Structure 1
């Protein structure tokens, strides 16, 4: 199977953000996306951003245009959210974002009436119906198809760092899970989801797709659901490991870290430097540790099995790659990663609210609604 990789400018940025729709009083999810999207999709037709539906009717997704910087793409997302609020505010619907909803139940949710979604649910059954998960996707432009697989292989070592920074799903269906990112482990239950296979080159990726399509595992490349995957149609690699970020500044921060990492790895390829690799079983263990412990995880950082606290390792990466952030024009957003490290990721803030209110998960949802509207500083407000 031959798969063409579209032309794309180097290190451009595209963002996708899945947003929950909730009742402002109860905090419960509401399946009102179909009625809201009738107007929103039409109104966004001439804009840089798009507003679309998702698997469940309780979700709206906003997508940026191609940004020549992180700020450019984030501005698109901000404009998209403002447009969405012109429909949701009058309709009495609130917005929030996290990897999971603290107390919603899968059997209360409706699947969007599209053939591909019904096909997915029919095949995956209980796991598919339990996909009450929300995330962000970060696209970075790659100018040379030959770089795609090597960058994906190298970037896989940083997926647990991104997962820990974005972790925002400590609750599931009304229970405290003990995980920072329960979403990460739920999502990998779908066919072709989870960590990417370590492939040698683009030809090996095409061979993989040929095997999957020929055996009926999937219809085409869009059904590859890896935590990081090629996006041939757009000429990008797409990072999908992150939980839904709870605020726009955090989305910008993670997007900047991804952009800087990809540009750094691209330069190493240009200079002919070979990246040190780790066995796939270390990558798998690191994913579990980041999901379980979030920013308190200790990660395996090399093939010899050396281990480091993820907070320390991220701080080292920030110091090492700061000059690249300057060149890409994302210093402010890149620097906000330090704020997440010092003030806590969304899962930590949610747990703080739950602990302060005797485990009241409705208070946690109201906290998330406030944060999404007002920013991380809203987390200091009592419900």
Structure 2
């Protein structure tokens, strides 16, 4: 049995020329399964939790196909890859629901720094103490998942100097979120934040990874990885998910992989030292992604993100093979070899293409990939529904 997995997919809508246009109010009114973000230029859909990767693949693509068909009906609109407003208009906020007081708070507090897109990967873990242990491990390794997924090197038509401009500008809040030592610690800390007003509600915890559930912070059932930029290639997304799941199975088999137990840093300051390293690693990865030189949480040694991911890949490969999902893990090697989307876009830019031409090409590639996956879906649908 595998762990349950599901995705929250935020994606921009716009023209075939790459200009992002807000139509989320129309989408939500016309289609089931889509929800609004505070700004109307992106929209979200959530996949049901599933165990099998092959089923997840088509649950990722099916809503996009439905959304794309609807966008064609209402105008010359399409889905736009990337995790920032690549081609412009980051100065204005376009409210999707002017009557929503929480949206008002977000706009007034953070402005368009929150008008980004991303992938949230949810992995089912019902034991609250195991979930806290998983949170601690993935929190210190979250920069590696950002390195694999970075897809936002442009903002307002310009090269920003970052591979993940989204993670550079996105507000992390509250400012200091601990490596929760237990479920009780998480509950007490959350209650204190709500009482102090540093969190507006239980959802207002915007960090790289967080415990999640239907009644936070009390009833929890999943780990939510929030750091990833939008990964429009479903095969690549499943590979990143497979790496995460395999790492969690490794932790389940070996609880001593917990950073609070295995790190060489002083016990008295271990949590603070780990968070300082992690924060620095996140900042470096947002700039250089796979080429970033990081510090390893276990022993403090310097290591490139690409090499660290390769180390973990080799450690978990046999686990994935025994569990039956190594096929979906293997595309990690392609990302390490060819680069993430931000690196590929920047390579094209160095070769002379402007940001608009690159985004237009990415839109066309996304359409072609979906056509191919739709054909496969039609062929495999009888087997998937059994």
Aligned equivalent of 1:5: none
Show CA shifts across 1:25-80 (max 9, x none): x3111111211221112xxxxxxxx3222222111212110111233223211111
- Residue pair 2:284, 2:292 contacting (<8 A) in 1 also: yes
Give the gaps of 5 or more residues in structure 2: 215-219, 266-272, 373-386
Alpha-carbon distance between aligned partners in 1 of 2:287 and 2:50, rounded to the nearest angstrom = 33
CA shift in 2, pair 1:158/1:28, >3 Å: same
TM-score by length of 1: 0.86
Work out which of the residue numbers 350, 353, 362 in structure 1 matches 2:345.
Answer: 350
Q: Which moved more, 1:263-272 or 1:297-306?
A: 263-272
Cα distance change on mapping 1:109 and 1:119 into 2, 3 Å:
closer
1:315/1:89 CA distance change after superposition, 3 Å: same
Asked whether the equivalents of residues 145 and 240 of structure 2 are also in contact (C-alpha less than 8 Å), the reply is yes
Root-mean-square deviation (Å): 2.4
1:17 to 5, 9, 32: 9
**Kept in 2: contact 1:100–1:132 (CA 8 A):** yes
The residue that corresponds to 1:328 in the other structure is: 323
Aligned pairs for 1:305-316 (under 5 A) are: 305-316=300-311
Q: Deviations over 1:118-139 (max 9, x none)?
A: 22212x1xx3333221110000
Structure 1 distance, partners of 2:258, 2:204, is 32
1:319–1:112 CA distance, 2 compared to 1 (3 A) = same
Q: CA deviation at 1:344?
A: 1.3
Runs of 5+ consecutive residues of structure 1 not aligned to the other structure: 1-8, 42-49, 379-383
Q: Are residues 1:94 and 2:78 paired? A: yes
| Structure 2 residue 45 is matched with structure 1 residue 62 | yes
Q: Deviations over 1:273-328 (max 9, x none)?
A: 97423622111111111111111111211454211122122112111101221243
1:189-231: CA deviations, max 9, x gaps?
A: 25327x8421211111111111111112224322111210011
Q: Which moved more, 1:169-178 or 1:303-312?
A: 303-312
Determine if the alignment matches structure 1 residue 373 to structure 2 residue 367.
yes
Q: Describe the shift of the 1:78–1:33 C-alpha distance in structure 2 as closer, same or farther (beyond 3 A).
A: same
Aligned pairs (5 A) from 1:137-156: 137-156=120-139
Which SS does the other structure have where 1:237 is aligned? Answer: strand
Structure 2 equivalent of residue 225 of structure 1: 206
Q: CA deviation at 1:372?
A: 2.0
The residue aligned with 1:4 is none
Q: What displacement does 1:375 show?
A: 3.9
CA distance 1:12–1:28, shift in 2 (3 Å): same
Q: Identify the residue that residue 217 of structure 2 maps to in structure 1.
A: none
- Asked whether the equivalents of residues 96 and 246 of structure 1 are also in contact (C-alpha less than 8 Å), the reply is no
1:107 partnered with 2:102:
no
Answering whether residue 24 of structure 2 is matched by residue 33 of structure 1, we say yes
Report the equivalent of 2:269. none
Deviation at 1:239, TM superposition (A): 0.2
